[in-house]
Each structure stands twice: as structure tokens, then as C-alpha cells.
Amino acid sequence: MKNQTKHMFYGLASFLTLLTPVLIIGAMIVPPMFSDIPIYYDKITITISAILILLSIAAHKPLNDKYLKYKELAEYDEFGQRKGRRRYDYSKEQRDMLDLQRMADMERILPQSTIKRITKRGSDDPDHDMKNLIGLAPVKQKMSEMAARMAFERSDRKHKKSPKEARHMVFYGSPGTGKTTVARIITGFLYKYKYIKQNKCIEVDGNFLKSTTPDDTATKVKYIIRSAYGGVLFIDEAYALKDDGFGCGKEAIATLIKEMEDHRDEFILILAGYRDEMRELLSANPGFHSRIKEYLDFPDYNEKELRQIFRFMAKEKGYTIEKTAYLAFDLRMKKEKRLSSYGNARTVRNVLEETIDRHSFNFINKKMPKEMKHELQYMDINQNIDPNKI
């Protein structure tokens, strides 16, 4: 049933729970008042009447809560704004005031500027972008299978009319292994094959979902999810949602799981993070397991792939790399891998930025000829690690 139909159904049911006791009591009291002959009721009639009255009273609150919930969903869109000029219980002035209050609450918990900042566009050419990914062979294989399944269902007429299953996912992997990039590519595939209505990916991390109180956290998570309607919600470092002692993490997880069930056709959820921490999160919350369909394991980059990433990033900034410079780069990366702060492609980017700084210094101080201005050299790459790094 649509929200409008549910709202009317539960409204009628709630009204009947109020009406039933009145009718039963009235039927037992009124007739004797107008009868010259005494009317007596047997125990069975009295017992059944009492049970019906008690059941009506007990059912009223949950049915009325459902009525109010679907009334709100029928009247307001996912951004807390009124859909139309329907007249329920409030005047126009009261409705406008409610709109302002809702917008103010949303702005306090999740400003529009933040929604704009965390909303990214999915890949416009997912096949090309997937093909050009460096490394990640098992991830590309899995994506190819997923894309083939989507294309198959799209081409098969009998699947076009059947409801599509929600393809919620988990990405396992270390930092800097391309999980965000892959999320955008998958968003592109999902949009291409009509699994989502908009080519957008809302990108946040686990800590971002939490607010100052459990109630505000639940509201914030709902706002974020509704901002992701029609697209993908990507939560990196999702293991940060584990209970923090204040109940906010627990509330965020409970809200996520409920929204995954209640609105499974509205958005796709991707949870990402370290392997061990993510497995711990999923094991502690069985509700995730039953709703997640795909698991992608992101391997760390090997030496050859790190070189390719270094060259690609340098090219983006307008630099080439002298052959012997790769030797210095390899030595530096071996040392970086021993640190707990090692982050695959993120570390490569940091090393590149440091290398460009040293290259600029060497060039300005005439330690190389002018023709090497945009060619990174062996001397530009510091093979030693800052002792303050861990």
C-alpha cells in the first residue's frame, strides 16, 4: 500500500477502536432504559463484550501511532517539506509554521550545504572507468559479474516488470585501495541499468552519521538516507558505528537496518572499512547480513601497481618520472608499508606531494637543467621517513 492508503486505513482502524467500546456499552445500557421489561445479560455476553472493549483500548495506541506516521509520510516528502496543499488538521498558517520548523530542524542537524558537499556524481562511463582501474583484479571481476547480471535482467522482458532486489553491499579493504572510486563506478552501473533513478552517491563515514544524542542521531540518519533516495549511500569506515557508550552508534545502526527494510527499493547502501572491523560490525548486527547481497574484497596494491599509481598521479599534475626515480620510490614505499599509517594510494599521493616540493626546491636552486623542470628525478624522492610518523 502507498503511504496515502496506509494513512487512511490506519486512521479508520484507529477510529473504530474508539467507536467499538462506545457501541458495545451503548448497546448494553440504552435498551433497558426504554424497555418496561428488565433486560439481563448472561455471563458469556458480558465476558465477550468486556474482551472486545479491552482489545479495542489496547489496539488504539499502536494503530493511532501508525496513522500519524503514514499521515506524515503521505503529506511530507523525504526532505521534510509538505508535498501539497492537503487539509488535515491545521490551517494554512499552522502548516507554513510546521514547514519552517521542519526545515529549521533539518538545517540544524544536517545543513543543505553539507548535503551538497557529500553528494557526488556516479561514473558517467562505468565500463571505461572500471577497465582503467589499476590493480584490483578480484574487484573488477566481481563488478563485471554484477554488471552482467544487471544487463541480463534489463534485457529479459520478464524481469523488467518484476521488482528488483536491493543490492546492498559491503567493501572489505585497507585505506587507499579505491573503495570510494569503485562506489562511484558501481553507482554508474546501477544507474545505467535502471536500478537507481539518479546517478548520485552520498559519501559519508561512520562517525558522520552520529549526532549529539540518540534521538538526533536517528533523525540525522533518516535525513541522510532520504537524501540518498534514488541513488547510493556510501558509508566508509562504517565500523565507527559500533556502540560508543552514548547510544548514538547503536541508534544509527538500528535506524539504518530499519530503513534498509522499509525503503529497500529507494536506495542502495554500501558499507566499507577494514576487514576485521567490518566483520565484527556485521557479526554483532545480524540485521545487516540478511539484507546485504554483495561482498567485495579489496586487496592491497603490489609494487608494480604502486608504481603505476605514482605515474598516473604525477601525469595528472603535469609531470613525468625519470626511470631511476622509481628505484627511490620503491625503497620509500617498502618503509612506508611497515607503518600503521600506511594507506596504499593515499600514501602514494603524500609521497608525490613531498616529491614535488623537493623537486621544486632542487630546480629553483639549479640542481638540475631547465629541460628537467617537469621530470621528477631520483634526488627528488626522499627515501627516509619522517621520524614523527608511526
> Is the pTM higher than 0.95?
no
Cβ neighbour number for residue 219 with a 10 Å cutoff: 20
Q: Which residues pair with 111 in a beta bridge?
A: none
Residues 188-231 pLDDT 10s: 999 999 999 999 999 999 999 998 888 889 989 999 999 999 99
330 in a domain, yes or no?
A: yes
316 in a domain, yes or no?
A: yes
* Contact present, 120 and 234 (Cβ < 8 Å): no
177 in a domain, yes or no?
A: yes
Question: Low-confidence residues of the chain, pLDDT below 70?
Answer: 1-4, 34-41, 69-70, 72-92, 94-96, 98-106, 157-165, 244-245, 390
Same domain (yes/no): 185, 164: yes
Q: What is the CATH number of the domain that holds 237?
A: 3.40.50.300
390 in a domain, yes or no?
A: no
Q: Say which DSSP state 125 is in.
A: S
Residues 365-381 pLDDT 10s: 999 999 999 999 999 99
Q: Report d(CA 167, CA 197) in Å as an integer.
A: 14
Q: Report d(CA 146, CA 140) in Å as an integer.
A: 10
185 in a domain, yes or no?
A: yes
Same domain (yes/no): 132, 270: yes
Q: Hey, what amino acid is at 288?
A: F
388 in a domain, yes or no?
A: no
Calculate ∠ Cα 240-341-323, nearest 5°.
135
Orientation angle between helical segments 43-75 and 3-33, nearest 10 degrees: 150
387 in a domain, yes or no?
A: no
Same domain (yes/no): 212, 350: no
Same domain (yes/no): 133, 242: yes
Res 36: pLDDT: 63
Same domain (yes/no): 308, 293: no
Q: How far is CA 294 from CA 63, 160, 194, in A?
A: 37, 21, 18
Same domain (yes/no): 65, 156: no
At 292 the three-state DSSP class reads strand
Residue 72 has φ and ψ, to the nearest 5°, of: -65, -45
Residue 78 has φ and ψ, to the nearest 5°, of: -65, -15
Write b or e for each residue in 227-258: b if 16 or more Cβ atoms lie within 10 A of its Cβ, otherwise e. Answer: bbbbbbbbbbbbbbbbeeeeebbbbbbbbbbe
Count structural domains, the chain: 3
230 sits in which H/E element: none
Same domain (yes/no): 319, 259: no
Q: What is the CATH number of the domain that holds 355?
A: 1.10.8.60
Same domain (yes/no): 288, 208: yes
389 in a domain, yes or no?
A: no
Same domain (yes/no): 67, 126: no
Lookup: cell for 118: 557529500
Res 83: pLDDT: 56
* Domain span holding position 335: 303-380
Same domain (yes/no): 132, 254: yes
Q: Report d(CA 226, CA 255) in Å as an integer.
A: 12
Nearest to 70 by CA among 143, 10, 13, 122: 10
Q: Report d(CA 109, CA 215) in Å as an integer.
A: 11
